[in-house]
Chains A and B, each alone.
Chain A
Amino acid sequence: MEKRTEYQKIEKDAARKDRIFHGVIYFALTVWAILVLFPFYWMLLSSVKSYSAYTAERIPKFYTLHPTLQNYVDAFTQVALGKYFLNTLIFTVLTTALMLVVIVLAAFAFARLEFKGKNLIFTLFLSLMMIPNELVVITNFVTITNWNLRNSFTGLILPSVTSVFYIYLLKENFEQIPDSLYLAAKVDGTTDFKYLMRVMIPISKPTIVTVVILKVIECWNSYVWPRLITDDKNYFLVSNGIQEIRENGFGRENIPAMMAAVVSVSIPLIVLFLIFRNKIMAGVSRGGTKG
């Protein structure tokens, strides 16, 4: 009998310890979640406060009773936010499309074709992955300037096209397709190019989608290169647009309108993320680093 009560006590203790342990963990996780979410909440909140209400608050309030969309109207009319959006869209679509063509062809050559010096060339390719962007951006800046491509989409896009890492990623994926598929296609008279288009690309679709998403994120957030290469507002991307809004703004320091711009810039990628959550996270953990 005594033994049993002892067991009950142990059970009770264990359960209580477990509850406390989990309680602490959930508390800590919630704190970090708030830290992450708060800036988003704040920008959303500020963006729907009217200018007068915002400036009148000496002590900022955590809520508003009179939300307004006027700031969004201002953000798109008083500054050329719409234009920045369009520019970023063009830049993102063209860069990603060009990159896809380049990396698919290169990955195919490395994965499927046999040619002299393949291993050596691929090793050289890989070693390029270690070259930091900061080192090459100087000459690229000079090159693009000399080609008179400043303030043009060509100048923005060209140096942003290639990614050795994505070639590597795709090549690895292509190589997982069994050789026999290629030989079978050969027996049936399929050309290399048709095999690439009809078999390899469809089979590797998940990886290609991942690469595209990662590149889109990169393009959408790119700041340094566009800043160097554009000073004409007509070619600003959203990042530069935000910086421009911050520095020259709405004539006066109109924080709610700024926040409206910030929210508008952030939403597309957040929506993309919520849709492709698993793909993005899997892709990033496979080796994507920011920028």
Chain B
Amino acid sequence: MKLVLKGLTKVYPARGKKGKPVTAVDHFDFEIPDGKLIGLLGPSGCGKSTTLYLICGLEKPTDGKLYFGEDDVTDLPPENRGVGLVFQNYALYPHLTVEQNITFPLENLKKAERPTKEEMHTRAVEAAKLVQIDGLMERKPSELSGGQQQRVAIARALVKMPRVLLLDEPLSNLDARLRLQTREEIRRIQRETGITTIFVTHDQEEAMSISDMIVVMKDGVVHQIGKPQEVYDDPVNLFVAKFLGTPPINTFDGHVKDGALYIGDAKVLETPGVEDREVYVGIRPEGFRLSPDGPLVCDLTGVDVMGRDTSVVSTHAASRDVNVRSIIDSEDAATITGKQVRFTLRPSKVLLFDHETEERIRYGNK
């Protein structure tokens, strides 16, 4: 089922006499296609969790509309929306067993829809099998590992056969190894059930790795929506460019003169079609290439070999960050000598942004 958000807005009233009203979500427009896995991405406090709560009905929007398929659900109470929500801390009932936790939502159903005891058990086992915890049905949450609790929470959300599954920071309470494993697991479960799934995260890597589409938010405003690779390659502004990618994009002060980009005094790139102006220059770490006569000259501070790749850390007077991080092939790294490194730049990895608005400035064929 597709989800339509139309101008969805949430304003929290001012707290205290001096406080100002806070706009948590500002005119969110988005049509979520059926059966996709969507990652809502942004720094903490950007309104992504509020968006999730608006979709599941725990919060009422101040303005705007929300449709599930063709149905307007803007004012529908959560229990009538057919949504499953998995909380960051899983919110399992500590005094109930795994099975009782999973069947808890079913017991709330009204008379006619309410399954019999046997049906409940069957459905609980089904949901448990899907997330591979069917061997733990009699345990209490405190006897489970973090990963297992997560699965129970997902099973509890799935048992109602929701039209939409919502996950709030599903991986943030897991350790690094489990995180990788669980994100594949979420992908698999989503594929198997085909339920439209939205998950919230502040970890761009997590979002990029499993989402069909990502939504980048900041301060309640949606900055960009798109396929992960598209958003990475073609960010609309400096914020999005900085937020995606590890190591993060390097930024420089630069200027354009006569259709060419200068960083400091060095002419580093042809940028046809851009008028003369001051710009921010964003260069992805993989956009640097070692070259003995490259125009961009940086002072070398260190070389970290990371297997196939090598990270070269250097400084540059025009850099807006402390260090310039570039990723190059380990084989090329052997050629580094002396205290300076010289780079040429790959045009597709160099992004220009307006000095005032930080909006992207396009050049060439982009």
Contacts and interface: CB of A to CB of B under 8 A. Distances in A.
A19 interface: no
Interface string B90-110: 110111000000001100110
28 contacts: A178-B91, A180-B90, A180-B91, A181-B91, A181-B93, A183-B53, A183-B87, A183-B91, A184-B85, A184-B91, A186-B78, A187-B58, A187-B78, A187-B79, A187-B85, A188-B79, A188-B105, A188-B160, A189-B77, A189-B79, A189-B80, A190-B79, A190-B104, A194-B108, A199-B93, A202-B95, A203-B93, A203-B94
Given A183-B91, A187-B85, 11 more contacts: A180-B87, A183-B87, A185-B104, A187-B57, A188-B108, A189-B77, A189-B108, A198-B104, A199-B93, A202-B95, A203-B93
Contacts of B94: 203
Interface of A: 178, 180-181, 183-190, 194, 198-199, 202-203, 205
B154 interface: no
B200 to A, nearest CB: 13
B56 interface: yes
A181 B101 CA distance: 11
B95 A186 contact: no
Given A189-B79, A199-B93, A184 B87 contact: yes
A187 B56 contact: yes
A188 B108 CA distance: 7
Nearest to B106: A188
A202 B83 CA distance: 26
Interface string B325-354: 000000000000000000000000000000
Which 8 pairs across A and B sit closest by C-beta, in order of nearness? A189-B79, A188-B105, A180-B91, A184-B91, A180-B87, A202-B95, A189-B108, A187-B85
Interface in B266-285: none
Contacts of B84: 187
Nearest to A204: B95
Binding site secondary structure of chain A = helix
B310 interface: no
Binding site secondary structure of chain B = loop
B106 to A, nearest CB: 9
A178 B104 contact: no
A202 B94 CA distance: 9
Contacts of B105: 187-189
Contacts of A188: 79, 104-105, 108, 160
A184 B91 CA distance: 7
A181 B88 CA distance: 11
Nearest to A181: B91
B91 A203 contact: no
Contacts of B79: 186-190
B89 interface: yes
Nearest to B56: A187
- How many chain B residues sit at the interface, stated as a range, is 20 to 34
A181 B85 CA distance: 11
Contacts of A199: 93, 95
A205 B95 CA distance: 10
A201 to B, nearest CB: 10
A181 B104 CA distance: 12
A113 to B, nearest CB: 15
A184 B167 CA distance: 12
Given A183-B58, A194-B108, A189 B91 contact: no
A139 to B, nearest CB: 40
Contacts of B58: 183, 186-187
Contacts of A187: 56-58, 78-79, 83-85, 105
A281 B158 CA distance: 44
Contacts of B156: 184
Contacts of B95: 199, 202-203, 205
B300 to A, nearest CB: 49
Contacts of A189: 77-80, 105, 108-109
A11 B202 CA distance: 62
Contacts of A183: 53, 58, 85, 87, 91
A183 B78 CA distance: 10
A6 to B, nearest CB: 55
A183 B54 CA distance: 12
Nearest to A177: B94
Interface in B64-91: 77-80, 83-85, 87-91
Contacts of A203: 93-95
A271 to B, nearest CB: 28
Nearest to B90: A180
Given A186-B58, A187-B56, A188-B79, A178 B108 contact: no
Q: Which of A180, A184, A186 has the most CB of B within 10 A?
A: A184
B68 to A, nearest CB: 14
Contacts of B78: 186-187, 189
A185 B79 CA distance: 9
Nearest to B59: A183
A194 B104 CA distance: 11
Nearest to A189: B79
A69 to B, nearest CB: 46
A91 B85 CA distance: 47
Contacts of A185: 104
A206 to B, nearest CB: 11
